[in-house]
């Protein structure tokens, strides 16, 4: 329905991330050369999963607050609202994968059987991480609507604090421990290792796994505590 009145339709879901990737590629490969080999692959392999994460958080933060009439009138599992947004953004991510495969083949590389295991693992980790974060912030957003604007600011900061435009290896050593505090760092590096090097996620993914576990527990408990008051607050 988002694209039903447009000429290009669903193609817009692919053109937007591609246009963004094109801008970053020109800036950080030609104008400010970071000296990273196959920068187009390095960039896109992390940018596409990030767009899934970012769009999910931005769109699902008001999932409960913006659906007051539905929550008041229709009994249904409320967690479906943020979950549907995450899945919708995940479908857009899946649709972008053929583009990455095309870039990979154009560069002389190709995916192998590790993708059959690695992609479901990373998708599951990112899904759990997203749902944990969103159950927490979407529940609080019902009572504190300023949170939507705060989340947008945090996401802008997180984008530059996560190795997306650059790699973890390209930053000074003293900054690496600081970047590794960010749970998205290990996740984006794992996507890169899988999509470019056909390497399965390993022990380096533990910060993301630990944060995802804590997030889903805290998010679920917060949602359960606050959900009974949604109808009154809305």
N-term to C-term CA, the chain:
26
Q: Please give the model's pTM, rounded to 2 decimal places.
A: 0.88
> Torsion-angle region of residue 37: left (phi > 0), alpha (psi -120 to 50) or beta?
beta
| Residue 31: both structure tokens together | 């104008």
Q: Give residue-wise pLDDT tens across range 45-72.
A: 999 999 999 999 999 999 988 888 888 8
Judge whether 208 and 183 are in contact, CB under 8 Å.
Answer: yes
| Residue 59: both structure tokens together | 């769109």
Q: What DSSP designation does 38 have?
A: T
pLDDT at 4: 60
Q: Give residue-wise pLDDT tens across range 20-32.
A: 777 777 877 677 7
């Amino acid at each position: 329905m988002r694209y039903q009145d447009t000429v290009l339709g669903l193609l817009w879901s692919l053109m937007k991330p591609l246009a963004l990737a094109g801008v970053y590629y020109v800036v950080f490969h030609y104008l400010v050369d970071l000296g990273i080999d196959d920068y187009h692959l390095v960039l896109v392999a992390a940018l596409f999963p990030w767009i899934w994460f970012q769009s999910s958080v931005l769109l699902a933060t008001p999932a409960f607050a913006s659906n007051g009439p539905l929550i008041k009138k229709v009994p249904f599992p409320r967690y479906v609202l943020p979950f549907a947004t995450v899945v919708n953004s995940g479908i857009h991510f899946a649709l972008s994968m053929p583009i990455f495969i095309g870039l990979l083949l154009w560069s002389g590389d190709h995916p192998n059987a590790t993708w059959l295991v690695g992609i479901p693992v990373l998708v599951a980790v990112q899904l759990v991480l997203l749902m944990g974060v969103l159950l927490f912030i979407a529940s609080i957003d019902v009572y504190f609507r300023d949170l939507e604007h705060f989340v947008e600011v945090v996401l802008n900061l997180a984008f530059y604090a996560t190795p997306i435009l650059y790699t973890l290896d390209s930053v000074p050593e003293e900054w690496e421990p600081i970047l590794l505090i960010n749970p998205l760092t290990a996740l984006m590096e794992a996507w890169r290792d899988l999509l470019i090097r056909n390497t399965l996620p390993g022990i380096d993914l533990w910060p993301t796994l630990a944060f995802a576990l804590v997030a889903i527990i805290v998010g679920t408990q917060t949602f359960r505590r606050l959900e009974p008051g949604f109808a009154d607050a809305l």
